[in-house]
Amino acid sequence: QSVLTQPPSVSAAPGQKVTISCSGSSSNIGNNYVSWYQQLPGTAPKLLIYDNNKRPSGIPDRFSGSKSGTSATLGITGLQTGDEADYYCGTWDSSLSAGLFGGGTKLTVL
């Protein structure tokens, strides 16, 4: 049971938009930056979003992040079949002095 809660799965059609939520508490999301990762099958996670809403170089602007209070959201527009992957949110927990990840969300592009 992860401290950060994500929906197990989401789905949408190609070209559509999807959002993935990540819920935490004041000791983690509420007072620390959130990152988002994409993990394709059999590969290492890839940083998509950091510091709540910043994209590393090379990440298309179809991917966006936001944070409000103790929750964060990843948005993906113009869905492509290549976006099918597991998505994880991550943050630091100040009380636990530990890094945290959500349980992951499997995105299916129908």
Binding site for other proteins (CB under 8 A): 2, 32-35, 37, 44-47, 50-51, 56, 88, 90-92, 96-104
Q: Is the torsion defined by CA of 59, 105, 31, 94 positive or negative? A: negative
**Min CB(6)–other proteins separation in Å:** 9
CB 8 within 8 A of CB 105: yes
**Min CB(90)–other proteins separation in Å:** 3
CB nearer other proteins, residue 87 or residue 109: 87
Q: Which residue do the tokens 């409000």 mark? A: 68
CB nearer other proteins, residue 13 or residue 44: 44
**Min CB(45)–other proteins separation in Å:** 6
CB nearer other proteins, residue 15 or residue 51: 51
Q: From CA 86, how far away is CA 41, in angstroms rounded?
A: 8
**Min CB(27)–other proteins separation in Å:** 13
The three state secondary structure string of 49-110 is EECCCECCCCCCCCEEEEEECCEEEEEECCCCHHHCEEEEEEEEECCCCEEEEECCEEEEEC
CB nearer other proteins, residue 59 or residue 77: 59
